[in-house]
Amino acid sequence: MMEESKSVGEQSLRQHSPPPSPTTVGDSTTQVAPMAAIKPIKLSNGLNGVHPDGGLANKFSYWRGRAIWGRSSESPNSPGRNREFDPSRILIDTTAPFESVKVAANKFGGTADWKAQRVLSLERNRNVQQGLEKMEQELALYQKQAESVEEVKERVLQELEVTRRFVDELRLRLDKAHTEEAQAKQDSELSQLRVKEMEQGIGDEASVAAKAQVNVAKARYMEAVDELRSVDNELEVLRMDYDRLDEERNNVKKKAEEAILASEESEKKVEELTLELISMKETLELAQASHVEAEEQKLNAAMDTEEEPGNWEKQMQQAQEELRSLDEQISEAIDLELRLVTASVFLSSLKLQSEKLEEDTLRSNQAALASAKELEEVKASIENSKEEVICLKAEAKVLMSKLETETNCMAVQKQRKAELEEKAQKLMEEVIKSKRESTRLELEKAKEEAELANARQRAVELKLQAVTKEIEAVKASEKSALETIRALQESEDAVDNGFEDSPKIFTITLEEYDDLKAKAIDAENLANERVSAAMEKIKEAKEKEAASLERMEAIYKEMKEKEEALKDATLKAEEATEGKLETEQMLREWREQELKCRKESDAAEEGLSNTVKCCYSRSFDGSRDSNSFPSAITVRASTTPNLIVEHSSAEAGAPLLKITRKKSFFPRIVMFFARKKVQALK
């Protein structure tokens, strides 16, 4: 390897010199070029042998880039060290030629120890490769971090969209709540005015509140009409879109149907062709079979011509025997037909007789059933009459007890009616107050929550901006790292390809490399810290959003519970009012019926001056005596609709019954249901 590097260096010198002349320097023999043949060396900075500071001080930076002769920035013998550069001037190198490479190396502060320099260069290449590998690993980490940051950014953007939607919904709800609050305030004010006017005795025509209510209703109606028109317009747009989509769908369906029809036609053609093939095969098979049958018939005909005389005689004998058997069968069939005719006549006569017998039995059974039914009806009527007598006695006792209970219930109902009216008024006032307070509190809470949501949204947007700036800084650091890696790779390529002139090569000292490396590490640490801080901020924002969402859910639950409680209270109040109205109606009906009954009883008393006596001496069996009923039922007519039943056994004669008008059953049913409703309201 050292010999190859020597040969490369010698070849690079020979390219700028004519054939050498041998000279002796010390013990070694070298080849030196004459003075006039030396050309200016092209430097790696692309300025054609001229240092950018002006001078030939850095003339051999190409060799220093190869790390062969040390790292001195400038040679001490450079004449134009502080001279300014003039781009119009052309400089010619007129210095004395070097006697050897060793002399040149010693002159510029380097060494000619090729082996040591080669080992150092290999170690440096290894270090550079290791640094490149580390940089690649770091780049992969940076890329992963950037991807994670982008994912976090997408999530934050999605959460922002969700929060924006939520804020929009809250705004809509706030607007609705404001409108409802305003309407409720208007309604309450108008109702208060109307109540005051009613207290003052102002009618509907002259009332200001009624006119204001009409105007408010008209305005609300116009707003509702405008909203309906906007909704109708949106619906028309949606219908247009729907019609367009339907047309597209129908076109697609038509195309699909056409394709299906084409495929079906092709399938039919294929089936027809297959059927034609099958028919052709069958015709071929039939032709083959007919050919075989024709051959067999030919053979059979040839055999029959030989055996015809014997076969004819046998066939004649068989035909005669068959004729005889047929004659016998015909005679037997005629006999059987005659027997069948006689049997059918006998069966018809038997059927007629059986039908007559069945009719007679049915008539006798019907008569027996009718008599049994009559007996059962008579027994049932007797039992019903007995049960009616018992029921009338029991009803008389029950009606007396019910009248007493109803009088007590009427007094209790009057008291409860007054109490219910007072409670209903109090409940209505409490409900109105609670509604107003709850709506006011809910509006305040909603406003506070909307403000909090806006502030959180602004904070999240600021955090997002900071995160985007940090991402841009990370990307810039990545770009700088990539540029350094590319430069190092190009320097390695230049080292591997030899001492070729390339305008992109530049020299870096170890201190500069260490500084760059430290800066890259610091930038990486800063980026990691910023990313971690951004992640923590995002987590805090998420936690705050979750807490706010939980609070909102709790608030909504409380709202729903309050609404349900209000609904229950209103329902109870409505039920109380309905029960009150029903009881009032029932009481009115009962009073009307009482008045009717009293009028009828008074008319009956005027018409009947004497008590009517009727004997209840009906006997069901016909053999019962008049003394079969030991007691008589007497009913006295009185002004009240009460029934008074008395058993009189003092008289020795037949039992007597004093009849008055019976109270109708409808008022009792009405009062029964009224008591049930009162108990339910309790």
Integer Cα distance of 667 and 591 in angstroms: 9
Can you give the residue ranges of every domain in the chain?
Answer: 1-112
Cα–Cα distances in angstroms (integers) from residue 598 to residues 591, 606, 607, 644, in the given order? 11, 12, 14, 16
User: pLDDT of 8-54, one tens digit each?
Assistant: 444 444 444 444 443 333 333 333 333 333 344 333 343 344 444 44
Output the pLDDT for position 492: 63
Round to whole Å and give the CA distance between 452 and 455. Answer: 5
CA distance 6 to 505: 22
354 φ, ψ (degrees, to nearest 5): -65, -35
The 10s digit of each residue's pLDDT in 77-90 is: 444 444 555 667 77
Residue 317: what pLDDT? 76
Residues in the chain: 682
What single DSSP character describes residue 342? H
* Residue 655, Cβ density class (10 Å: 0-12 exposed, 13-18 middle, ≥19 buried): buried
Q: What is the DSSP letter of 635?
A: E
Most confident of 62-66, 172-176, 374-378, 453-457: 172-176
The structure's pTM equals 0.23
Percent of the chain having pLDDT more than 90? 0
Q: Taking residues 269-278, what's their average pLDDT? A: 80
**Whole-number mean pLDDT of the chain?**
68
Higher pLDDT, 241 or 506: 241
8 vs 453, residue with greater confidence: 453
Q: For the segment 577-635, what is each residue's pLDDT rounded down to a tens digit?
A: 787 788 778 878 888 887 888 787 777 766 654 444 443 344 334 444 444 433 333 33
Strand partners, 648: 632
State the DSSP string of 564-618: HHHHHHHHHHHHHHHHHHHHHHHHHHHHHHHHHHHHHHHHHHHH--S---EE---
CA torsion sign, 327 to 333 to 335 to 338? negative
The pLDDT value given to residue 275: 84
Question: Highest mean pLDDT: which of 87-101, 298-312, 360-374?
Answer: 87-101
Least confident of 133-142, 234-243, 647-656: 647-656
